[in-house]
Structure 1
Amino acid sequence: MSDSLATVKNGQLQQNSIQEYLETLPKQTFDKLYTQPATCLAALRLLPPIAKQIVMRLLYTQRPVLKADVEAWCFQEHRSDLRDSLKKLAKMNICTETGSEHLQISRIFQENMHNALVGGGTHASFGKPADTQDKYEVDIPFLDRYASEAWEAVLHYLVGTPTEKRPKAVGRLLVASGLQEQDGRSGATDDERTMITSKGFQFLLLDVNVQVWSLLLQYLELAERQLQMDIVEVLNFLFQVGSLELGQSYSIDPLTDTQKMVLEDLKWFGLFYQRKKKSSRFYPTRMATSLTSGSMIAARKPEEGHGYIIVETNYRIYAYTESPLQIAILSLFVSLQARFQNMVVGLITRDGVRDALAKGITADQIITYLTAHAHPEMRKQSPILPETVVDQIRLWEMERNRLRVSRAYMYNDFPDIQEYKQLSDYAEPFGAILWKNDKKRILVVTEEGHEQVKAFKKRKQAAKGIPGGGGHGRAQASPLTSR
């Protein structure tokens, strides 16, 4: 893998879409992006239906169009949708207002969108097919298997059960995305130094297409801010591969050095197949060629016929699966007891759920996962999961969350009851006291109230002529953790 991900730092997974990311880019960046016909076509695919209609109607106009004429293209009840589409087109720098009454399509976008539709211009925007026969040619079923196995290996790495050695940069991207975090346990080995987070478990619940874009968005952030890549070249390459033909090999010669680096990075995630690092050709997989299709933009609900989990009222789970990944995900919160050829048996236990909660996984996420992957037989009943199991999982979470850890300070060694009473009476009205014992003359105050109590104590001691506001034989404050 290239060194382009080697300097990744901790960050957070971006939850926005590729459209929202593009809308944050400046006009100068759009002007460069739209010099590539493939990028213009990808931008059109990302637009909502009404915005697409507006673009296609303005595409062959040579003069600005009256806004009133554009609004007349739809019924009155859809005017708000049209205005929203116009705002989106403006943010994407495709169509902008000229004056207060006219709309103008971007000339750069217009010209290169023409080229995309009619095949005009001299460019390799849609890739350059390899012009020689591949001695090691691969077919579409091979590419599908390769992409599936590569992506599953990434998810295994996320769950903490790596099936094969992945470049360290893959792990760094997962940490930067907030899907994993450093494991603070002493004695953890190199392979155990990261563990899945609550965001990571939520990531597993997403459609694979949304998972891919989530990581790509984080990759874009890192490429621009930390890796000093040209974001225009990175985006143009991603949009280009979205228009490539599945099963066709493409030459790497037209790619820039930055784009070759992106190719090297993303092939570990299953987007590209390259037989060797120095190979002069690459194959885009279905994951890459579908990047700008509708299925890549929004999550799909799990198909009801593909559930595999049965949950019984006695907390026993039967999972009809042979997938090591699905079994590894279950093991995050289920105590597995037996494994057969096409099924595993486990038990939802207090310890298992608490282990998951310790990783930041929530009770709602566990319940959502079990519901989303419930067996078709389970879906015939309402509610899908046994209520006793759902309630117990939530109770275990409440049990864990009932204690709140906060810093506090303990005052003791008061020389007399009078000084203890003065400090206690001062701190109590503004809620600084967490706990006190009058008999033993002990006060525990909040971290926020400590400074005020300490200042009051110093003033009282200064009034008595005690230098330094403390010393031997006076009440002392010690930091501690309260629950």
Structure 2
Amino acid sequence: MPSIEPNPESTVPDGEKSHVLLTFLHSQSQNALSRLYQRPSACLSIFRFISLPLERQLIMNLLWMESPISTATMSAWVTREGRKAYNESLSTLARLHIVPHSASKLALNSTFKSSLRHAITGGGASGSFGLPADADLQHPSPSIDTLDAYALERWETILHYMVSSGTGQFPARPSKEVLFLLQRSGLMTSMHGGALQITSSGFQFLLHSPHAQLWELLLQYLQIVEERQMDLVEVLSFLLMLSTMELGQEYSSEKLSSTQIAMLADLRNYGLIWQRDTSSRRFNPTRLATALTSSSPPLPMSSGIGVSSQSQGFIVLETNYRLYAYTDNPLQIAVLNLFVTLKSRFPNLVIGAITRESVKKALANGITADQIISYLTAHAHPQMHKNVCSDCKPLLPVTVQDQIRLWELEKNRLKSEEGYLYTAFASQADYEYVLNYAKQLNIVLWENPSRRCFFGSLDGHANIRGFIERRTAGNA
């Protein structure tokens, strides 16, 4: 076995975090993970999620060993430069219960090892990667183009609704289960009258790639499965099994558990699977599902908010606050409408301006100035990048950035908070004595020594009132 040392060409960049699903799995019990590792498809998917090459190397080195290896022997193969990375990798694998936390012998979790071997060699029980359905001559399976169009329509319906904030600007409306999840996850919030409004987190959600957006919603879905009396391990294993299925292949639901059967309706709402009707015993995974554990884009046809649109910027911003957006995508135009006053629209061009009123409207919806600037930066036209030099000119006009932040400061000048005003003290000594006591409790929000009054927080009123009553009784 070769020595273990970090590879500078394949290490994860600084600041890059592990996949959000692995972070979620860190909080799960060993019993739940052991049940999950019984599925070869789940083990293969988790192996794909592991981003550090050193962690993958450790798994593959231990995978084909029939007996445990001494930790001292393994440590002897680690170079001095790779010691830190080696220890961090073991710690990550231990949190996933793939290797033991601390032991004199090092070996893979027996269940994980057996399932991953089956996934690689093709052994194990049938159905772990889905049960392909027999060909139906009367109802042929939909084409890949049909599946892509279906997934795109379902996914962009969710994004369109978030951008329009439930105003009915777009005819399509997500299902009530999707709306509940958007509200539960904090991406939208209920306003007066029951209408849903996009939040600051929701706008930040729109800045992410479709892959990150999808997993953010799925993690929120995993958080509520126990409330719905669903088996978390069954839900996880079905999602990971979908990621290993073949796009365009039709699968049978006969071998699915009751929890997984119930998931089919939810996954239809998100566009992860296609079914001919709700009672069908067959389903097709879409590209949203098959790309869950891969680096390929889940919606290659989409021209909406995502990696493709970020790499091909479409926004030109001038110093006079005028904005030119070279796009005809309704979703991108709707996002701009959240903080831009749109004035003219042509077949492939939208003209608008960033105004005080448009920014104040965005701020009222919970969108921050930094988020607006980040969006404009991420979607800047290539021509704007050409005008930037390394040591002088920023990408966006400084005057526009500063003015957006100043408009935000206008909104934040005043801050309201409930509390009590304490006044009419008998003497300066009494005022200072009570004020010092309130300061010790860190509940003073405002004070005016010349008028012998101060304003305290709502939570500290009982303590201050009791202190004043005790002092008054003592003086009497």
Q: TM-score band, normalised by the shorter chain?
A: 0.7 to 0.9
Percent identity of the aligned residues?
43
1:58 maps onto 2:65 in alignment: no
Letter in 1 for 2:89: S
Letter in 1 for 2:182: L
1:274 maps onto 2:275 in alignment: yes
Counterpart selection for 1:127 from 125, 130, 152:
130
Q: How big is the shift at 1:163?
A: 3.7
Say whether the 8 Å CA contact 2:38–2:115 is kept in structure 1.
yes
Q: How big is the shift at 1:70?
A: 2.5
**In 2, distance between residues paired with 1:292 and 1:197?**
28
1:350-393 alpha-carbon deviations (Å, 9 max, x no partner) = 12111211222110000000110111111212311111100000
Q: Which moved more, 1:193-202 or 1:125-134?
A: 125-134
1:456-478 alpha-carbon deviations (Å, 9 max, x no partner) = 6546765797xxxxxxxxxxxxx
Q: How big is the shift at 1:209?
A: 0.3
Taking the TM superposition and a 5 Å limit, the aligned residue runs for 1:66-465 are: 66-96=70-100, 99-100=103-104, 102-133=105-136, 135-159=139-163, 160=165, 161-183=169-191, 185=192, 188=193, 190=194, 193-224=195-226, 226-294=227-295, 305-382=311-388, 383-410=394-421, 419=426, 424-429=431-436, 432=444, 434=446, 443-447=453-457, 450-451=461-462, 454-455=465-466, 458=469
**In 2, distance between residues paired with 1:312 and 1:401?**
27
Letter in 2 for 1:447: S
1:40 maps onto 2:50 in alignment: no
**In 2, distance between residues paired with 1:370 and 1:198?**
16
Q: 1:434 to 1:87 in 2, by over 3 A?
A: closer
TM-score (norm 2): 0.84
**In 1, distance between residues paired with 2:76 and 2:445?**
68
Q: What SS does the corresponding residue of 2:126 show, helix, strand or coil? A: coil
Say whether the 8 Å CA contact 1:426–1:453 is kept in structure 2.
no
**In 1, distance between residues paired with 2:445 and 2:261?**
62
Q: 1:381 to 1:423 in 2, by over 3 A?
A: farther
Say whether the 8 Å CA contact 1:23–1:91 is kept in structure 2.
yes
Say whether the 8 Å CA contact 1:97–1:103 is kept in structure 2.
no
Q: How big is the shift at 1:21?
A: 0.9
Q: How big is the shift at 1:217?
A: 0.9
Say whether the 8 Å CA contact 1:410–1:442 is kept in structure 2.
no
Q: How big is the shift at 1:238?
A: 0.7
Structure with the bigger RCO (C-alpha within 8 Å, sep 6+) is 1
- CA RMSD in angstroms comes to 2.8
Q: What SS does the corresponding residue of 1:105 show, helix, strand or coil? A: coil
Give the gaps of 5 or more residues in structure 1. Answer: 1-14, 466-483
Q: What SS does the corresponding residue of 1:322 show, helix, strand or coil? A: coil
**Corresponding pairs, count:** 436
Q: 1:373 to 1:460 in 2, by over 3 A?
A: same
Q: 1:61 to 1:446 in 2, by over 3 A?
A: same
Give the gaps of 5 or more residues in structure 2. Answer: 1-17, 299-304, 389-393
**In 2, distance between residues paired with 1:463 and 1:78?**
69
